[in-house]
């Protein structure tokens, strides 16, 4: 290793003064020594800083800031270091207006570097009036530290718990309930999970809150079913917080990174909460996908509807429909919506949501999009609009080919990763489908995540 690193211009534990010249996709500052990049947590372009080199690789190094000689005007001083260390809010040291510019630039770079597009307009990022306390869901590990039950978040790239009480980006009611539960867990001496030994009872607490309804669901993720005093905690919880309408227990006996297991028990109230999105009511179960930021989800759907310029004669395929939020938001503007998803519980919710909102032109089926699609095409269904909202890995080449074979007029693409969006747009362009504009939406302020919406057409 020493021989390989012989020509690297920096050494581990070396201290030096550098100027931050750029930001990486994950929000680290970049400085260069003789062209050699050094990635620096919490650095902002334009700052002159003293650094301590932490780790040296063949092509780059990592460092931390020990002091500032010149600070950026974009710096926010009231910074909670743990929110950066855990990755909860890695950009909250940067002014929000600059965060929005950074995200627009990230999308522009992805379009050019990965997609090879020089002529696509990337609009300014659609932000929030208040970019804090927006998350309607929390998934919090429970561990024993110093003899006390603690809640928090894992340090980046580890399973070392850092205690957090104000998460900055979570709904404030969720934070209140977490503090109450921490006190209850200590009072009743509930034993938290020990990962190394695969012992203990309580692994995680998952909380969801309806942004408009205010309804709260609390789910205890446990290693086994029987937990002494858990029902006492549930009783105290519902008495203290009348807006808690659903308390569940999820049993996850496996030692795995998968947080939620297969078995769910109702300890109190309903097995779901409800909320609104663009005026429609949705039933949300524990395992259903529902957009984390309700306010921004409405903005991204509105932008999709605006860009698509939908017609009353359109027949829409919603290929990753979840509980039906996108399809049902479009339903009153088109002829028919067909939705498909691999999660049976999500499709059950989608069907219930259609009934709940008296939408009779939406059809939902469980299965892989390509298989269900063949069934519908055999039934002579002609789709002229396709909506895709895939996971971070984007679309498969097979799906892109199959979607093109349907010869739709428009493909609405909602993306949670600009890199895979640019890659997929490049593949669509080979089939003659292109876009003139991409609109970033800041679904996750204070973080590096970026949502985008675009419409492809021939």
Question: Looking at the predicted structure, is the pLDDT value of residue 5 above 80?
Answer: no
Cα–Cα dist 44/98, whole Å: 10
Residue 79 has a pLDDT of 75
Q: How confident is the model at residue 2 (pLDDT cuts 50, 70, 90)?
A: very low
- For the question of residue 416 being annotated catalytic, the response is yes
- Do 453 and 314 share a structural domain? yes
Largest CA distance in the chain: 70
Model pTM? 0.91
In a 13 Å sphere around the CA of 282, the CA atoms on its Cβ side amount to: 28
pLDDT recorded at residue 106:
95
Would you say residue 65 has pLDDT above 50? yes
Per-residue pLDDT tens over the stretch 41-61: 999 999 999 999 999 999 999
Active-site hit among 310, 416, 425, 443:
416
pLDDT of residue 157: 79
Residues 255 and 315 in one domain: no
**Number of domains making up the chain:** 3
Mean pLDDT, rounded, for 424-430: 97
Domain that holds residue 450: 112-128+293-457
Q: What is the pLDDT of residue 259?
A: 84
The full 3-state SS of 137-198, as one line of letters, equals: EEEEEEEEECCEEEEEEECCCCCCEEECCCCCCECHHHHHHHHHHHHHHHHCCCCECECCCC
Residue corresponding to tokens 């909202």: 389
Q: In what order do the strands lie in the sheet with 48-56?
A: 15-19, 48-56, 61-70, 36-40, 29-33, 22-23
CA distances from 420 to 107, 166, 305, 425, 448 (A): 11, 33, 22, 8, 15
Rg (CA), the chain: 24
pLDDT tens digit string along 152-197?
Answer: 989 887 888 989 888 999 999 999 999 999 999 999 999 999 988 8
Q: Name residues whose C-beta falls within 8 Å of residue 134's C-beta, 6 or more positions apart in sequence.
A: 128, 169, 171, 292, 293, 295, 296, 445
Higher pLDDT, 243 or 458: 243
Tell me which of 412 and 86 has the higher pLDDT. 412
Q: Is 265 exposed, middle or buried (0-12, 13-18, 19+ CB in 10 A)?
A: middle
User: Are 301 and 235 within one domain?
Assistant: no
177 domain-assigned: yes
Residues 271 and 359 in one domain: no
Is 372 inside a domain boundary? yes
403, 422: one domain: yes
Give the pLDDT band (50/70/90) at residue 3: very low
Amino acid 294: pLDDT:
97
Q: Quick: pLDDT tens for 193-212.
A: 998 888 899 999 999 999 99
- Asked if 122 and 164 sit in the same domain, the reply is no
Does 86 map to a domain?
no
- Which of 204-213, 374-383, 385-394, 418-427 shows the lowest mean pLDDT across its residues? 374-383
| Averaged pLDDT, 424-428 | 97
CA distance linking residue 142 with residue 186, whole number of Å: 11
H or E element that contains 372: helix 369-378
Banded model confidence at residue 327, pLDDT cuts 50, 70, 90: very high
349 and 240 fall within a common domain: no
Is the Cα dihedral 161, 163, 168, 172 positive or negative? positive
Arithmetic mean of pLDDT, 86-110: 94
Place of tokens 């609104």: 276
pLDDT at 448 over 60: yes
Q: Is 258 in a helix, a strand, or coil?
A: coil
Q: Is the pLDDT of residue 6 over 80?
A: no
Mean pLDDT of the chain: 93
User: Residue 332 has what DSSP assignment?
Assistant: G
Backbone angles phi, psi at 53, to 5 degrees: -70, 125
């Amino acid at each position: 290793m020493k021989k390989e690193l012989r020509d690297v211009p920096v050494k581990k534990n070396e201290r030096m003064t550098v100027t931050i010249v750029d930001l990486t996709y994950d929000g680290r500052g970049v400085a260069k020594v003789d062209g050699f990049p050094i990635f620096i947590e919490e650095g902002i372009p334009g700052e002159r800083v003293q650094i301590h080199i932490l780790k040296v690789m063949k092509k780059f190094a990592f460092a931390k800031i020990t002091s500032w000689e010149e600070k950026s005007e974009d710096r926010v001083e009231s910074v909670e270091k743990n929110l950066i260390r855990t990755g909860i809010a890695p950009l909250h040291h940067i002014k929000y207006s600059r965060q929005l510019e950074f995200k627009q630039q990230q999308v522009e770079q992805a379009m050019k570097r990965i997609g090879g597009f020089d002529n696509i307009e990337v609009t300014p990022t659609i932000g929030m009036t208040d970019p804090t306390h927006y998350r309607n869901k929390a998934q919090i590990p429970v561990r024993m530290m110093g003899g006390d039950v603690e809640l928090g978040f894992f340090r980046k790239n580890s399973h070392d718990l850092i205690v957090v009480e104000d998460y900055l980006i979570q709904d404030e009611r969720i934070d209140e309930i977490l503090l109450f539960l921490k006190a209850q867990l200590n009072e009743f001496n509930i034993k938290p999970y020990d990962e190394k030994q695969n012992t203990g009872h309580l692994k995680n607490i998952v909380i969801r809150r309806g942004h408009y309804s205010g309804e709260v669901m609390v789910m205890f993720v446990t290693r086994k079913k029987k937990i002494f005093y858990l029902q006492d905690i549930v009783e105290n919880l519902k008495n203290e917080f009348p807006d808690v309408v659903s308390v569940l227990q999820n049993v996850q006996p496996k030692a795995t990174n998968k947080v939620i297991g297969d078995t769910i028990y109702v300890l109190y109230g309903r097995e779901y909460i409800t909320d609104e999105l663009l005026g429609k009511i949705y039933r949300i179960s524990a395992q259903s996908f529902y957009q984390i930021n309700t306010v921004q989800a409405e903005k991204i759907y509105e932008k999709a509807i605006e860009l698509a310029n939908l017609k009353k004669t359109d027949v829409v395929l919603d290929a990753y429909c979840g509980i039906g939020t996108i399809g049902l938001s479009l339903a009153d503007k088109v002829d028919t919506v067909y939705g498909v998803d691999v999660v049976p519980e999500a499709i059950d919710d989608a069907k219930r949501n259609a009934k709940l909102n008296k939408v009779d032109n939406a059809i939902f089926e469980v299965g892989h999009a390509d298989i269900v699609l063949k069934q519908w095409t055999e039934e002579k269904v002609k789709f002229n609009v396709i909506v895709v909202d895939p996971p971070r890995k984007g679309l498969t080449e097979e799906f892109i080919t199959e979607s093109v074979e349907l010869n739709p007029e428009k493909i609405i693409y909602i993306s949670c990763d600009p890199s895979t969006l640019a890659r997929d747009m490049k593949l669509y362009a080979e089939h003659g489908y292109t876009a003139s504009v991409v609109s970033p939406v800041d679904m996750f302020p204070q973080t590096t995540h970026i949502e985008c919406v675009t419409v492809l057409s021939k």
